[in-house]
Amino acid sequence: MVSISLRNVCLDYPLYGAYDYSLKRRLLGRLIREPAEMRIIRAVDDVTIEAETGARIGLAGPNGSGKSTLLRLIAGVYPPSSGGIAIQGNVVPLLGLNAGVNLDFVAEDNIALLLRISGRKPTRTMIDEIWAFTELETRMQRLPLRMFSSGMLMRVLFATATAFPADILLLDEWLSVVDEHFAEKAEERLLNLVSQAAIVIIASHDQPLLRRICTSVINLDHGRIASIVTVEPPATHAFQLREQRA
Amino acid sequence: MHHTQQTSHDTPRRPSVLHIFKIYYPDLFGGTLTVIRDICASLKDAFASAVLVCSQSAEKRQIVVNDVPVERVRSFGNLLSLPAAPTYPWRLWRKIAEHDLLALHAPFPLADLVFAFGFGRKRPLVVHWHADIVTHAGLRWFIEPLMRRTLRQAKAIIVSDHVLVDNTPLLREFEDKCHVVPFGIDTSGYDWPKIEAHHVNDRGRLVLACGRLVPYKGFDVLIRAAAAHDFELWIIGEGVERPRLAQLIEELGLSERVRLLGSVNDCERIKLMCLADVFVMPSLTNAETFGLVQLEAMAAGRPVVNTALDTAVPRVARHGLEAITVPPGDAGKLGEAIDTLIRDPERRRQMGFAARTRALSRYSATAFRQGMETVYRDAVTAPSEQRTMNVEPPPATAWFDSIRIAATLAWSDMRHRYVRSLLGPFWMSLQMAIVVAVLGSVIGQMSNADVLSRLPMLALSMTAWTFLNSVVLDATTALQNSASLIRDRALPPVIFLLQCTFRQALFALHNACVPLLLWLVLSPHDFSHGLAALPGLLLFVVCTFALSLVLGAMATRYRDLKPIIESTLMLAFLASPVIWSSDMISHRSTVMRLNPLTHLFAVWREPLTGSPIDPVSIAYVLVALALLIGASLLTLVHLRKAAFWI
């Protein structure tokens, strides 16, 4: 049983200025009784989300409205300041593509390393399958990533990140990073991945994309839920087609 | 009694409350205990109470006081006003799970310690703020962070008067959680004997005081005041100050008029209060927050003399209305105030009447019960702040995963060195070989000892030192360097601190070829010593990891620590026998003996040379390890917030 339950979750995000990183400054401040004021913003404010198997939730909102922070909160990167979070199922956060990449290593080693970081034992066939998806030449597997163009690099990273299904998938805006030809193929793969996951939460500015993928879209504003829109399912149509083909 | 039958038809199960304090009846009588007892008694229909305290008596651990089960943890005396009960935190931790609500009666740092480590987080906690820490104010810097953590965890903080919130900086931080519930008193017991004019003591000069005989109660001031005036003074209570007070009475020649009555039961005390003409509360410090006894005296219709503290004391019995308030610690003013009342029966009568009225109307037991019940109920029913469960699924596998990922990352770091150059980490080994050669020749110049036979040990010491130094220094920047994996892949930060130890261990294995070669060439080969050194070496590695964990986290939070750590490590290195062996210097310097690094090296170097380890070194290392493990556990709790720092 996979589920996400956030009840009245708040997150106070401390903003550390240059002085807040200094222990000397802090101790001195205490000696001369200067009030140590810590700036705090409420990045997530009283958010309640209940999601069961099958939920595809889109997070929309302007920059700084707390989309990424909310995803990180669910992923367990930040502890909530108050409220309750209960999650069942394994969470795979894909928030930044280039986390853990070592540009000096050859491509296949990087793929193997990334797979290990996400808890899988890489095999030759796995790497070959991932490589096939990138549509890059086989000999490039032996080249260090430093020599790849940024577009090619993104293909490799995208292919690796999306290679395996997850119970709960957290995605932050990163479809836009790939070039146009690849974008179509990437979206298809993403949709495929989404269709295999039990719960998907996706943060994006791309309203049409959210409408295609999600069952409901949550609009965030200053960390609060401004509105929840339920999307009528033209999206499921695409899924059914694929299932019939498979 | 009839309560026993009552339990049979309890309809729904009453939520249970665990009262946490340092001491309870029958070991002591006092205001705080009265409050706990009254809470237990007045809420017995709504809550099932239990008490966990310490006791110095070796008698039964489990007793029942007024129908309330009390568990008493063995204490071996008092240390800085705290019971020395080493098993208390453990018992508390065990008991937490059995109750629905925890009621901590602060200040009690021993319990704060338990909550500071995050235990009991799943149970709602209510803090009764009885007093601030005044007597041992020097320990504040240590206690206050603990208390802050407890208060942060608390659902509600109960104070007896709002003035406490205003005057206590720590409470002001949590103002929105504070609830003012003034203590209440059941006045029915005080109706005997009838308060009438003719009942007032004919001599008109009996002064009563009541409280534990401890310094802050100011009874010595009261006794001095008695010396200058002509009234009779009875003091109810027991405590450590008794011999001193008795001596003072003797010295001032007051044995005729001043009596220490010792502990007195409730009924007797009420009788005495009704008998007395004036009640005095000469307390000296803000440790006296409310003064429940003065409320009792008021209920008995007595005028009060109290002191101008920054607490509720002068607000319960107000100057000019129910009391005369004098500056604390001023024997002259205190004596005068008492004398004024003694000489003026009419004023005494008026004040006594006003006092009784105030006790009845403002501090009623009903209001107290309702106030407490509301706070307790809200705390129990408030949605419990369950913490993120996904961070700690089945912990064993999570830990194993973390270690595996750390090992993978460390392995890839090592391979990275080989990618850049064919020799890889052996470049560093080469460098170290040169250092050892140079150092060896320098030492050879300085002492006449046989340099060649020392070289393997020197090389091995340098390898170990390089390991420790690099692990700690790497750890100071590890979290920042892995920011994207922590924030975007939600990997636990501890992985990257572990990675430092693993990586440097791999490099140390490369470096170890230098001492190994030297040993093969220069020394007689005896493997048994190597085996004996293994436990010490393990201690060394564990200490190194714990140190890097603590310092790594701190240096990430406070960026200015890194240069300090660097220079401290260098100093510790120079003041330790890493390059010297202990017998090169005939008697070790004090600095060297105090330096933990000395002992951390000694525990594996001594067995390696075949000599026995100094027990002092073992003790030193084990204590350091215990401290480091404690600090590491605390760090692990804090590491949850590491994503904010990077």
Assign residue B263 the CATH number of its domain: 3.40.50.2000
* pLDDT score of A233: 60
Residue B371 resides in a domain: no
* pLDDT score of B191: 67
Q: Do A84 and B486 touch (CB under 8 A)?
A: no
Which of A171-175, B386-390, B628-632 has the least mean pLDDT? B386-390
Say yes or no: B402 and B348 in one domain.
Answer: no
Token digits of residue B481: 């360097």
Say yes or no: B11 and B33 in one domain.
Answer: yes
Contacts of A105 in chain B (CB under 8 A): 412, 415-416, 419
User: What are B262-271's pLDDT values in tens digits?
Assistant: 888 888 888 8
Overall size of chain B counted in residues: 646
Q: Do A21 and B488 touch (CB under 8 A)?
A: no
User: What are B435-466's pLDDT values in tens digits?
Assistant: 888 888 887 777 666 777 788 888 899 999 99
**ipTM rounded to 2 decimals:** 0.86
State the burial class of residue B513 (Cβ atoms within 10 Å of its Cβ: 0-12, 13-18, 19+): middle
* Chain A, chain B: beta-carbon pairs less than 8 Å apart: 112
Per 3-state DSSP, what percentage of chain A is helix, strand, and coil (rounded to 5)?
Answer: 40, 30, 35
Nearest-Cα distance to chain A for B397, in Å, is 12
Residue B50: is its pLDDT beyond 80? yes
Residue B292 resides in a domain: yes
Nearest-Cα distance to chain A for B557, in Å, is 6
Helices (H) and strands (E) in chain A, counts: 8, 9
Least CB–CB distance from A104: residue in B419, B554, B557: B419
The distance of Cα B293 from the centroid of its chain, to the nearest Å, equals 28
Least CB–CB distance from A21: residue in B389, B559, B643: B559
User: What are B609-633's pLDDT values in tens digits?
Assistant: 888 888 888 999 999 999 999 999 9
Say yes or no: B357 and B489 in one domain.
Answer: no
Residue B2: is its pLDDT beyond 50? no
> In whole angstroms, how far apart are CA B645 and each of A16, A96, B558?
8, 18, 9
Contacts of A85 in chain B (CB under 8 A): 386-390
* pLDDT score of B624: 93
Residue B47: is its pLDDT beyond 50? yes
What is the number of other CB atoms lying within 10 angstroms of the CB of residue B437?
A: 15
| Domain assignment of residue B359, given as a range | 187-363
Residue B234 resides in a domain: yes
Rounded to an integer, the average pLDDT of A159-184 is 77
Q: Tell me the DSSP string of B437-456.
A: HHHHHHHHHH--S-HHHHHH
Given B363, B384, B417, which residue is the final one in a domain? Answer: B363
Q: Do A14 and B644 touch (CB under 8 A)?
A: yes
Better-predicted residue by pLDDT, A191 or B280: B280
Residue B376 resides in a domain: no
Say yes or no: B588 and B444 in one domain.
Answer: yes
Nearest-Cα distance to chain A for B205, in Å, is 49
Q: Do B558 and A13 touch (CB under 8 A)?
A: no
* pLDDT score of B388: 36
Residue B312 resides in a domain: yes
Q: Nearest chain A Cα to B401, which residue?
A: A119
* pLDDT score of B472: 95
Task: Give the residue numbers in A contacting B (CB under 8 Å), as ranges.
Answer: 7-8, 13-14, 16, 21-26, 72, 74-80, 82-88, 91, 93-96, 98-100, 102, 104-105, 109, 113, 116-119, 144, 172
Say yes or no: B89 and B228 in one domain.
Answer: no
Say yes or no: B107 and B202 in one domain.
Answer: no
Dist CA B286 CA B312 (whole Å)? 9
Q: Tell me the DSSP string of B363-389.
A: SBHHHHHHHHHHHHHHHHHSPP-PPPS
Say yes or no: B621 and B523 in one domain.
Answer: yes
Residue A19: is its pLDDT beyond 90? no
Nearest-Cα distance to chain B for A244, in Å, is 34
Nearest-Cα distance to chain A for B304, in Å, is 38
Dist CA B363 CA B369 (whole Å)? 11
Nearest-Cα distance to chain B for A84, in Å, is 5
* pLDDT score of A178: 60
Name B155's Cβ contacts closer than 8 Å, sequence gap at least 6: B124, B125, B126, B177, B378, B379, B382
Say yes or no: B14 and B59 in one domain.
Answer: yes
Residue B375 resides in a domain: no
Q: How confident is the model at residue B192 (pLDDT cuts 50, 70, 90)?
A: low
Dihedral-angle region of residue B211 (phi above 0 means left; psi in -120 to 50 means alpha; beta otherwise): left
Report the number of distinct structural domains present in chain B.
3
* pLDDT score of B144: 82
* pLDDT score of A175: 59
Say yes or no: B174 and B191 in one domain.
Answer: no
Rounded to an integer, the average pLDDT of B14-28 is 83
Dist CA B291 CA B183 (whole Å)? 10
Q: Nearest chain A Cα to B489, which residue?
A: A93
User: What are A20-75's pLDDT values in tens digits?
Assistant: 778 887 788 777 766 656 678 888 888 999 888 888 899 998 888 888 899 999 98
* pLDDT score of B641: 86
DSSP category for residue A231: P
Q: How confident is the model at residue B581 (pLDDT cuts 50, 70, 90)?
A: low
Say yes or no: B169 and B200 in one domain.
Answer: no
Residue A246: is its pLDDT beyond 60? no
User: What are B390-440's pLDDT values in tens digits?
Assistant: 334 445 567 888 888 899 999 988 888 887 777 777 888 888 889 888 888
Residue B583: is its pLDDT beyond 70? no
Contacts of A13 in chain B (CB under 8 A): 644
Q: Which of A127-136, B11-20, B377-386 has the highest mean pLDDT?
A: A127-136
Say yes or no: B404 and B337 in one domain.
Answer: no
Q: Do B560 and A23 touch (CB under 8 A)?
A: yes
What SS3 string covers B465-515? HHHHHHHHHHHHHHHHHCHHHHHHCCCCCHHHHHHHHHHHHHHHHHHCHHH
Name B470's Cβ contacts closer than 8 Å, sequence gap at least 6: B500, B504, B507
* pLDDT score of B582: 57
Residue A235: is its pLDDT beyond 60? no
Question: Under DSSP, is residue B212 helix (H, G, I), strand (E, B) or coil?
Answer: coil
> In whole angstroms, how far apart are CA A154 and each of A105, A203, B427?
15, 19, 34
Dist CA B1 CA B565 (whole Å)? 67
Say yes or no: B285 and B317 in one domain.
Answer: yes
Nearest-Cα distance to chain B for A177, in Å, is 16
Given B158, B180, B202, which residue is the final one in a domain? Answer: B180
Choose from B174, B177, B390 for mutation: most chain A CBs within 10 A: B390
Q: Nearest chain B Cα to A109, which residue?
A: B412
* pLDDT score of A34: 64
Mean pLDDT score of chain A: 82
Residue B370 resides in a domain: no
Q: Do B405 and A96 touch (CB under 8 A)?
A: no
Residue B386 resides in a domain: no
Rounded to an integer, the average pLDDT of B289-312 is 89
User: What are B595-608's pLDDT values in tens digits?
Assistant: 888 889 888 888 88
